[in-house]
Copies of this chain bind each other. A is one copy, B any other.
Amino acid sequence: MEQLELLRMLEQVQGGELSPQDAVLKLRMQPFEDLGYAKVDHHRGVRQGVPEVIFGGGKTPEQIIGIAQSMQRQGGHNILITRLDEEKAQAVSQQLELDYHPMARIGIVGRLPEVTAPGYIAVVSGGTSDMPVSEEAALTAQALGNRVERLYDVGVAGLHRLLTHMDLLMGARVVIAVAGMEGALASVVGGLVSCPVIAVPTSVGYGANFHGLSALLSMLNSCSSGVSVVNIDNGFGAGYQASLINHIGGDHL
């Protein structure tokens, strides 16, 4: 119940059209969201063409289609489906117009939105094996209305590759640093730029990598200030957080 509706209801009580007893009942029955406590970007999303998000992992194609169609009925024109493997994507695309990105395992129902944030997000990654996670981050950010600059395969084993593109890094409003193995990229990037860095450890590696643990711990212990971390392989989370930051203080919002 939005404030306006609440006001209308109270005016009905004032005008005698609604008894106080019924008003109590109605207030108790109202979903909490209606009282104004809920997260506003649910509504904002619909207004601005920013997509709703479905986490496709562990859902059947039928469940995904069902949720997406329900979103569409509620007016959602852009829907982002993450962790969507190729087989599921095929099943989904038989019922929905789907723009599928196999490397990022992302499907987009509808078109990518306009850019709604002033700056750009740089997505930097260590090696070619980190590209799926990097693309998940990059496409998520694009789907949320951001301009994205990609800077891939610039791992710290060949530092000059990174340093060559300092200008691109320095110009970003947020940097997403994606790296597996020892995850040193986050610290090095964090030491070079003065904007926030969102670090994404990947599970790329083997042995004492322990499925991404080495990169995760490395990034959490970064000696560079200004670095925060999301879950292993969570490109979506990084893209989402970076988008929130990139939209801060912009005219477009």
Interface residues of A (CB under 8 A from B): 3, 6-7, 10-11, 13-14, 16, 19-21, 23-24, 27-28, 30-33, 35-41, 44, 53, 57-59, 63, 118-119, 126-129, 155-161, 163-164, 166-167, 170, 173, 181-184, 186-188, 190-196, 198, 201, 203-234, 236-238, 240-241, 244-246, 248-250
- Taking a contact as CB atoms under 8 Å apart, the answer to whether A7 and B24 are in contact is yes
- Taking a contact as CB atoms under 8 Å apart, the answer to whether A11 and B6 are in contact is no
- Taking a contact as CB atoms under 8 Å apart, the answer to whether A217 and B218 are in contact is yes
* Chain copies in complex: 8
Q: Could you tell me the distance in whole angstroms from the C-beta of A151 to the nearest C-beta in chain B?
A: 14
Q: Could you tell me the distance in whole angstroms from the C-beta of A248 to the nearest C-beta in chain B?
A: 5
Q: Could you tell me the distance in whole angstroms from the C-beta of A67 to the nearest C-beta in chain B?
A: 8
Q: Which of B28, B44, B216 is in CB contact (< 8 Å) with A208? A: B216
- Taking a contact as CB atoms under 8 Å apart, the answer to whether A221 and B205 are in contact is yes
How many angstroms between the C-alpha atoms of A58 and B235 in the bound complex? 18
- Taking a contact as CB atoms under 8 Å apart, the answer to whether B37 and A21 are in contact is no
Nearest residue in B to A42 (C-beta to C-beta)?
Answer: B158
Nearest residue in B to A4 (C-beta to C-beta)?
Answer: B24
- Taking a contact as CB atoms under 8 Å apart, the answer to whether B226 and A217 are in contact is no
Residues in B neighbouring A7, C-beta threshold 8 A = 20-21, 24
